[in-house]
Structure 1
Amino acid sequence: MAVEGGMKCVKFLLYILVLAFLACAVGLIVVGVAVHFTLNQTIPIGSTAGSVVPVVIIVLGTFLFLVAFLGCCATCKENYCLMTTFAIFLSLIILVEVAAAIAGYVFRDKVKSEFEKGFRDEMKEYEKNNNTARFLDELQKDFKCCGATNYTDWEQVPQMPKNRVPDSCCVNSTEGCGIGFKPSDINQRGCVEEIGNWLKHKALVLAGVALGVTFVEILGVVFACCLMKSIRSGYEVM
């Protein structure tokens, strides 16, 4: 039995929301891939944050896509069981998103400390590995930083000659500028702080988008429950 009256409007709105969920799911997958690429360019290889964050985003996007597809089928067919399953799964996604947000806030300091440890480990490989050297040089040039906390961190690298830092640390980076340098000619800020500030800005944008998506998902659950009630009432009348 087809829904009637105001429930037709609810069904239409839910169908629009489901299509929006499909678009959001594809967007999350794309963002996950982009985050993976970006973090690999900005966070030392092997960092927990660099490997876990994009995977979580991609998995969540894939699951949301499947749930949205289920919701599309449930809405079109007005099937009570499918609609109930859709509402339950969508509620689970909301809970996971809230839990992930809380975990990210609680463990933010741990992520930063692991990031700093990973960066210092990469510094130790600077003179041994050309790929690592290029990686760190690009970071220090792009973010105008030097070392983990500041340029003195390079003094702790055993293979680095005394009174020398990578040329990428220089305010005006030229070949040999890091040899016998003057502190005033070196970028004073550490890369952990600079990259952390950049990531915080990106995280705030991502959090704003996630908050909007979560609000839409809550509306989806509400509309699904209304439609479920209407469908069930129709069955009871029959």
Structure 2
Amino acid sequence: MAVEGGMRCVKFLLYVLLLAFCACAVGLIAIGVAVQVVLNQTITHETTPGSLLPVVIIAVGAFLFLVAFVGCCGACKENSCLMTTFAVFLSLIMLVEVAVAIAGYVFRDKVESEFSKNFQQQMQNYLKDNNTAMVLDGLQKEFGCCGANNYTDWENITGLAKDRVPDSCCVNVTAGCGINFKKSTIHTQGCVESIGAWLRKKILLVAAAALGIAFVEVLGIIFSCCLVKSIRSGYEVM
């Protein structure tokens, strides 16, 4: 009876961990999508190490949600095969998370250089492409920035007057506010720095989430192995 009571406790804790997995999975997917949206707006559609990171984060989140579902089915049906699959997949996710963390650290400077290069390329098309203009204006308004490195980058754009910046650079955006501007009326910080700071915050959130998930995953593996052993030993855990 003591063993059966212990297994009931393990099973209950496993359910709690599975709920935590689902919450973490949704969080990872949301962060990955948010980062991917910004990367799509500021980096060209070439495949680069930096552009692949949010895709991996989304994939890990989706896979974690699927694994949690498998674990829930295994625990409900007390199926040792499903619980073993759950433990194996959970171990694989831990390895992927370690790989993503290492890749994020290694390519952190690469992502920023891609931002700077491609943002400046898109600035050259500001007056030629309305879609590009809308994207850049949206980013400058959202992040309170102007230009790639700073507001003076707009001086190098062909067709744009030297004493003018896009209206989206203004602190208080109004029609024509970028003409004959004063430094006090516009955002002087570059978008590479502003967006880079935003991305670093997101990466810190991912890192903190990964640490928390890793701890929960270890517990999940231990509890699932205990449950598998109990099921195979023929104990009634209900």
**Structure 2 length normalisation: TM-score?**
0.82
For the pair 1:219 / 2:209, whether they are aligned, the reply is no
Unaligned runs of 5+ in 1: none
Letter in 2 for 1:123: M
Distance of 2:84 and 2:126 partners within structure 1: 56
**Structure 1 length normalisation: TM-score?**
0.82
Q: Post-superposition shift, 1:27?
A: 4.4
Distance of 2:183 and 2:31 partners within structure 1: 39
User: Which residue is equivalent to 2:192?
Assistant: 192
Q: Post-superposition shift, 1:63?
A: 1.5
What are the residue-to-residue correspondences of 1:24-35 with 2, within 5 Å?
24-35=24-35
Unaligned runs of 5+ in 2: none
User: Which residue is equivalent to 1:56?
Assistant: 56
1:3-58 CA distance string (max 9 Å, x none): 724222112211332243234334444444444445556x3553758853443233
User: Which residue is equivalent to 1:230?
Assistant: 230
User: Which residue is equivalent to 1:139?
Assistant: 139
Residue 123 to residue 79, structure 1, CA distance change in 2 (3 Å)? same
User: Which residue is equivalent to 2:75?
Assistant: 75
SS class of match (2:102):
helix
Contact 1:36 1:54 in 2 (8 A): yes
Q: Post-superposition shift, 1:90?
A: 0.4
Aligned residues: CA RMSD:
2.8
Contact 1:19 1:72 in 2 (8 A): no
Q: Post-superposition shift, 1:184?
A: 4.7
User: Which residue is equivalent to 1:204?
Assistant: 204
SS class of match (1:10):
helix
Contact 2:25 2:64 in 1 (8 A): yes
User: Which residue is equivalent to 2:96?
Assistant: 96
Residue 33 to residue 187, structure 1, CA distance change in 2 (3 Å)? closer
Letter in 1 for 2:45: G
What are the residue-to-residue correspondences of 1:153-172 with 2, within 5 Å?
153-172=153-172
Instruction: Count the aligned residue pairs.
Output: 232
Judge which range, 195-204 or 127-136, deviates more: 195-204
User: Which residue is equivalent to 1:84?
Assistant: 84
Letter in 2 for 1:7: M
Contact 2:145 2:187 in 1 (8 A): yes
Distance of 2:178 and 2:26 partners within structure 1: 46
User: Which residue is equivalent to 2:45?
Assistant: 46
Q: Post-superposition shift, 1:219?
A: 0.8
